[in-house]
Copies of this chain bind each other. A is one copy, B any other.
Amino acid sequence: MKIDQQTTDSLSALRARINAFVAERDWEQFHTPKNLAMAMIVEAAELVEHFQWDTAEESQRLSADKREQVGHELADTFVYLLRIAEVCGIDLIAAANAKIELNALKYPAEKAKGSNAKYTSYIQDDD
């Protein structure tokens, strides 16, 4: 597959680039779903670390420096997410779209509006 950053499907291009990177280094042997799930949560935690002592407002005021670091953690998390989807044979976009459908049912706009309550707290009102 030709890797072209100018394709309109930038996600496919990125996936191909990552797969080539891994193959070049003979790393598929380490990329079991178990290991990749561990690697991804480690990156997700590096993101959490940037905000652990921040107030909500401080977390919203990103300096250029902090935005760059946050970009690194998001990138690392994203790369592992793509690898797990790859090795498990899952279409990430399709899975995300399906989950949004499901969430729209769990959290109908008229009930969920402005509320941070978990759906179990009002869906049971339907019973």
Using CB atoms and an 8 Å cutoff, list the residues of chain A in contact with chain B. Answer: 5, 7-11, 14, 17-18, 21, 24-27, 29-30, 32-35, 37-42, 44-57, 59-60, 62, 67, 70-72, 74-79, 81, 84-85, 87-90, 92-93, 95-100, 103-104, 107, 109, 112-114, 116
How far in angstroms is the closest Cβ of chain B from A112?
5
A67: contacting residue among B39, B60, B89, B112, CB under 8 A: B89
Number of copies: 4
- A59 and B72 in contact, given A24-B109, A45-B45, A103-B21 (Cβ under 8 angstroms): no
In the complex, the answer to whether A26 meets B114 with C-beta atoms within 8 Å is yes
In the complex, the answer to whether B21 meets A34 with C-beta atoms within 8 Å is no
Q: Which residue, A25, A62, A79, A109, has most C-beta atoms of chain B within 10 A?
A: A25
Output the nearest chain B residue to A18 by Cβ-Cβ distance.
B100
In the complex, the answer to whether A97 meets B14 with C-beta atoms within 8 Å is yes
**Within the assembled complex, what's the spacing in Å between the Cα atoms of A77 and B37?**
11
In the complex, the answer to whether A42 meets B48 with C-beta atoms within 8 Å is yes
**Within the assembled complex, what's the spacing in Å between the Cα atoms of A67 and B86?**
12
